[in-house]
Structure 1
Amino acid sequence: MARTYRVTIAQLNPTLGALAGNADKAHAAWLQGRAAGAGLVALPEMFITGYQTQDLVLKPAFVEDARAHIEALAARCADGPALAIGGPLYEAGRLYNAYYMLRDGAVAGIARKHHLPNYAVFDEERLYTSGPVSGPFGMDAVRLGTPVCEDSWYEDVAETMVESGAEILLVPNGSPYARNKLDRRMGHMVSRVIENGVPLIYLNMVGGQDDQVFDGGSFVLNPGGKLAMMLPVFDEAVAHVDFDETNHGWVAREGEKAVHPPVIEQEYRLMVEALRDYLHKAGFSKVVLGLSGGVDSALVATIATDAIGAENVRCVMLPSEYTSEHSLEDAEAVARKLGCRLDTVPIGPARAAVTESLAPIFNGMAPDVTEENIQSRLRGVMLMALSNKFGEMLLTTGNKSEVAVGYATIYGDMAGGYNPIKDLYKTRVFATCRWRNETHRDWMLGPKGAAMPDRVIDKPPSAELRADQKDEDSLPPYEVLDDILGMLIEGESSVADCVEAGFDRDTVKKIEQLIYISEYKRFQSAPGARLTSRAFWLDRRYPIVNRWRDNS
């Protein structure tokens, strides 16, 4: 009689540092696997600690605590299937990113990550030691190889494990979302399956951690690269994968094949999940933001409402003499459509007081950007006061186009704890607003129907810090600006490359200058949801002081 083997995979959301809570989640998944008759229950990479730990994992007490929780979890899971879970390992003076196999109440084996990623948001070479490639774990019916995350992007680890007898590959991951990354993951995993002729389980975690969101999308491939199962993106899920032994080795049975939504929906969901997890994991339940009547703050208010519900979102209009009636009406319309509270705090009296205080020193000097920035900084003061008084996290609302060229005021509209749209260029802001107005999903806590009036999306963007001000007075149209930024930032292109692509050289040089001189602002800016592989923070580490310019 042909043998079968069931693996329960747990695509779950850990909280970094919540060792007991993460262990409880793993135990709950193990109970589901035991009830389903699984031989193994598997959790993702570094699940016991949460991921990424960054330098926290260099603290010996933290690593010791993680190991104690793993051993206690082994004891809790003694009577039933094996449990595989990721965590740190300190051994013989070296620190490893490890994957533990727990059986019969004890640690039965450990695989150590061999290839350590050292690019983009990853910095593992300075944290961990590269481990030796381990052989497979011998389970009751099968021999299981476990290339840990980055190990599966190279040929050698999987090949060595299969040559050592592995019949199924289980790849535990902490792989954060980046645009079009799923295709790259799938391409590498198909290669491993075709090269080695064994089925493969790709198990990824879900949930937000600081700027990153782990998007799940776990899947199972059969020999030849055929998809047998695909779990949804962003949702927690526990699934059972059944393997049948054949004359040609083990084959996974067909299972759920979730259809992943288009990129615009995935990225809106990511911004919602990033904000929700950042708040909850940091201990906040409510937010406050300045609602200007413009498209950026309208989108942030909508994201916040979809993340935590309208009753937990405070919008504040902070008008000056330059604030148009349209902006007042539009801010009120957005708050009304979303169902959020809207407070109005005029900044005129405070601005008059500041202007009077500075008048003796500024005497004889013409007004300039200084006076404009005073308005923005007064708004930041008011919003931070509300944040402090009511315990609501202040959200900032600058899009990637503005953040890139410094069209945001440090200690003003940049003040706050999180920026959901930090990695979203302005042209994508417009597209995302139109998509959300036409779309509602069950995971959105906000209302169905249009959340933002068309006028908010269609009107010319303006900071309204002086009379008749428009963004395009000092910047090229956003369609042009975003294309140039995409080349200079995402593509690291030269000025000559941009000119060859058809852009005016003087315009490109102006944008390059603005990017470089704004680095100090970005260094001090709030974290925000990472959508691309060139997000501002860990993906792009440029010097603050930099006199080099591209004269190509």
Structure 2
Amino acid sequence: MSDNFRLTLAQLNPTVGAISGNADKARDAWHAAKVAGSDMLALPEAFVTGYQTQDLVMRPQFFRDAMDAVEALAKDCADGPAMGIGAPYHDGKDLYNAYYILQGGKIATRILKQRLPNETVFDEERHFTSADPQGPYSMGPIRIGTPICEDAWHAEDVCETLAESGAEFLLIPNGSPYYRNKFDVRLNHMVGRVVETGLPLVYLNMVGGQDDQVFDGASFALNPGGELAFRMADFDEEIRHVDLTNTDDGWRIQPGPIAQLSDEWEGDYRAMVESLRDYMGKTGFKQVLLGLSGGIDSAIVATIAADALGPENVRCVMLPSEYTSQGSLDDAKDIANRLGCTYDFVPIKEGRDAITNTLAPFFEGLEPDVTEENIQSRLRGLLLMALSNKTGAMLLTTGNKSEVAVGYATIYGDMSGGYNPIKDLYKIRVFEQCRWRNANHRDWMKGPEGEVIPVSIIDKPPSAELRPDQKDEDSLPPYDVLDAILEGLIDDEKSVAKLVSEGFDKATVKKIEHLVFISEYKRFQSAPGTRLTKRSFWLDRRYPIVNRWRDGT
């Protein structure tokens, strides 16, 4: 019996619902594995359907199409290495999240997921049935245990059972989405599995964007003792051939290159770029447009769009009113020129005058208030959506997490748009992210290098410019205070009393809590945006729109 086993890992980017296209990607990877003389090709969890499918996977024709695609792959890839690939399996009664082992023209083994995640963005208990414990399978000279994603995240459970039943190596296919600093979390869990089983382990993750989530790859391997044998790049598609050798101490993974991972600033920025790039590519849009106000939020969104799609596919539109400062006019044109994007100048005065005249009989005797401010924002939204409809370019919205949290945005106005890359980025981090982009350029960025975001935009006080001399801090606490309170209320679910004990003013905390709760209806109608944390708005944090409870502590 051979003392060597070659495994090809395919860290690839599937598209949800593109079953035949995903299967073609698997075939191409299989041919690469065959040329390399591999014994087996491994692809990530749910690769045939893409991940996450949400309720789509429960449609009978959908899971039947996926199962048919697996059968066809088995026949097409008979003469060469085995293939491991994720897809749903329905046994006539229940639906499972499965990992298929294809060998010799047929389905040789089918592993069914036991642990179904039902937290944060995951709803697998809604979609699948939990399977009973299963043993390892033989692949040439080696016995492989395959815990599927969540199966490997728990101590003294699936992995330990596989080791006790004869597994000599753990191959773990994943669909593990990005959040800030997540690699260390994954690594700590997998070190735990290696320590408790004494087995070498490969953690195979997918890459690519799907709606709000980004899968960041960074697949890796550990030998017994927790030694890192290799690590693949984060966010990039990669096919890597890995050799295992049977030694006197058991199977060991041969060392390979250890890719340098992104730090949290590069990771967040890359996630925003990749999510927008894939959202566009997978939905069929080619170009974007956005309202460029001369402020920092639209500046970073324009930069992200240029890096994701190329400046030639980004249209920036300045829509000034009488309250727009000369500094904002200058800054908006400056950043569009620095990025190399199309720049349009569309004053809103004529349209606003017409709306004011139309409403005058109904507003007679009433004092001007936020209504008139919101008319400006909604008129801008109308004009931008008209340009979007006419040109086929998708409108991007530009509200940061601080604004989205407290409702400091106009529904049907500046909230109009199809995607928001900075939806999970607090305002204070927007400033730092701009400084990071000015100082860094990478090969995956399609925009120009250098100081693309003028320092004048980063340094000026934030303002919606909807009335004379308006500043955000007229309505909100300073952003360093606001963001700290929001992180406590949203990201950490802290009580009012806890935040007060940390030194925050109680009246301010209560005001922010109230704004967060009453803005739920706006978030319910807001555009999807890149998930950067474990408490992003949408699937991570689910609150009722109608809610009269307030924290009385």
TM-score by length of 1: 0.99
Q: CA deviation at 1:23?
A: 0.5
**8 Å CA contact 2:2, 2:141 repeated in 1:** no
Unaligned 5+ segments in structure 1 are none
CA–CA separation in structure 1 for the residues paired with 2:133 and 2:378: 55
1:347 aligns with 348
1:364 aligns with 365
Counterpart of 2:508, as a letter, is T
**8 Å CA contact 1:2, 1:246 repeated in 2:** no
1:62 aligns with 62
CA–CA separation in structure 1 for the residues paired with 2:325 and 2:286: 32
2:150 is aligned with 1:128: no
CA–CA separation in structure 1 for the residues paired with 2:145 and 2:484: 44
CA–CA separation in structure 2 for the residues paired with 1:14 and 1:318: 39
CA–CA separation in structure 2 for the residues paired with 1:465 and 1:184: 44
Counterpart of 1:406, as a letter, is G
CA–CA separation in structure 2 for the residues paired with 1:346 and 1:75: 62
**8 Å CA contact 2:399, 2:420 repeated in 1:** yes
CA–CA separation in structure 2 for the residues paired with 1:370 and 1:177: 39
**8 Å CA contact 2:180, 2:267 repeated in 1:** no
User: Within 5 A, what are the aligned runs for 1:464-479?
Assistant: 464-479=465-480
User: What's the secondary structure of 1:531's corresponding residue?
Assistant: coil
User: What's the secondary structure of 2:228's corresponding residue?
Assistant: strand
**8 Å CA contact 1:377, 1:412 repeated in 2:** yes
User: Within 5 A, what are the aligned runs for 1:362-511?
Assistant: 362-511=363-512
User: What's the secondary structure of 1:467's corresponding residue?
Assistant: coil
Counterpart of 1:103, as a letter, is Q
Counterpart of 2:439, as a letter, is E
Counterpart of 2:380, as a letter, is R
Q: CA deviation at 1:161?
A: 1.1
Unaligned 5+ segments in structure 2 are none
**8 Å CA contact 1:267, 1:531 repeated in 2:** yes
2:289 aligns with 288
User: What's the secondary structure of 2:334's corresponding residue?
Assistant: helix
Counterpart of 1:541, as a letter, is R
Q: CA deviation at 1:227?
A: 0.4
2:156 is aligned with 1:176: no
CA–CA separation in structure 1 for the residues paired with 2:121 and 2:304: 24
**8 Å CA contact 1:372, 1:466 repeated in 2:** yes
2:27 aligns with 27
1:113 aligns with 113
TM-score by length of 2: 0.99
**8 Å CA contact 2:148, 2:173 repeated in 1:** yes
Counterpart of 2:99, as a letter, is Y
For residues 404-430 of structure 1, the C-alpha deviation after alignment (integer angstroms, 9 at most, x for no partner) is 000000000000000000000000000
1:299 aligns with 300
CA–CA separation in structure 2 for the residues paired with 1:410 and 1:315: 21
2:9 aligns with 9
**8 Å CA contact 2:63, 2:89 repeated in 1:** yes
User: Within 5 A, what are the aligned runs for 1:67-216?
Assistant: 67-154=67-154, 155-216=156-217
2:531 aligns with 530
CA–CA separation in structure 2 for the residues paired with 1:450 and 1:466: 30
Q: CA deviation at 1:180?
A: 2.0
CA–CA separation in structure 2 for the residues paired with 1:309 and 1:133: 49
2:263 aligns with 262
**8 Å CA contact 2:172, 2:202 repeated in 1:** yes
1:251 aligns with 252
CA–CA separation in structure 2 for the residues paired with 1:75 and 1:431: 52
Counterpart of 1:90, as a letter, is H
CA–CA separation in structure 1 for the residues paired with 2:182 and 2:445: 24
Counterpart of 2:171, as a letter, is L
User: What's the secondary structure of 2:157's corresponding residue?
Assistant: helix
Counterpart of 2:162, as a letter, is M
For residues 341-395 of structure 1, the C-alpha deviation after alignment (integer angstroms, 9 at most, x for no partner) is 0011111111111111111011000000000000000000000000000000000
CA–CA separation in structure 1 for the residues paired with 2:216 and 2:440: 21
Counterpart of 2:369, as a letter, is D
User: What's the secondary structure of 1:296's corresponding residue?
Assistant: helix
2:234 is aligned with 1:222: no
Counterpart of 1:266, as a letter, is G
2:236 aligns with 235
CA–CA separation in structure 2 for the residues paired with 1:262 and 1:212: 18
CA–CA separation in structure 1 for the residues paired with 2:540 and 2:494: 16
**8 Å CA contact 1:275, 1:307 repeated in 2:** yes
The runs of at least 4 aligned residues of structure 1 exceeding 4 Å deviation read: none
Number of aligned residues: 552
CA–CA separation in structure 2 for the residues paired with 1:74 and 1:345: 57
CA–CA separation in structure 1 for the residues paired with 2:443 and 2:182: 25
CA–CA separation in structure 2 for the residues paired with 1:2 and 1:528: 50
CA–CA separation in structure 2 for the residues paired with 1:2 and 1:423: 51
Q: CA deviation at 1:2?
A: 6.6
**8 Å CA contact 1:2, 1:244 repeated in 2:** no
User: What's the secondary structure of 2:140's corresponding residue?
Assistant: coil
**8 Å CA contact 1:393, 1:416 repeated in 2:** yes
For residues 174-218 of structure 1, the C-alpha deviation after alignment (integer angstroms, 9 at most, x for no partner) is 000012221111111011111111100000000000000000010
CA–CA separation in structure 2 for the residues paired with 1:35 and 1:161: 31
CA–CA separation in structure 2 for the residues paired with 1:348 and 1:539: 41
CA–CA separation in structure 2 for the residues paired with 1:121 and 1:114: 18
CA–CA separation in structure 2 for the residues paired with 1:11 and 1:177: 15
Q: CA deviation at 1:92?
A: 3.0
Taking every aligned residue pair, what percent have the same amino acid on both sides?
Answer: 66
For residues 300-326 of structure 1, the C-alpha deviation after alignment (integer angstroms, 9 at most, x for no partner) is 000000000000000000001111111
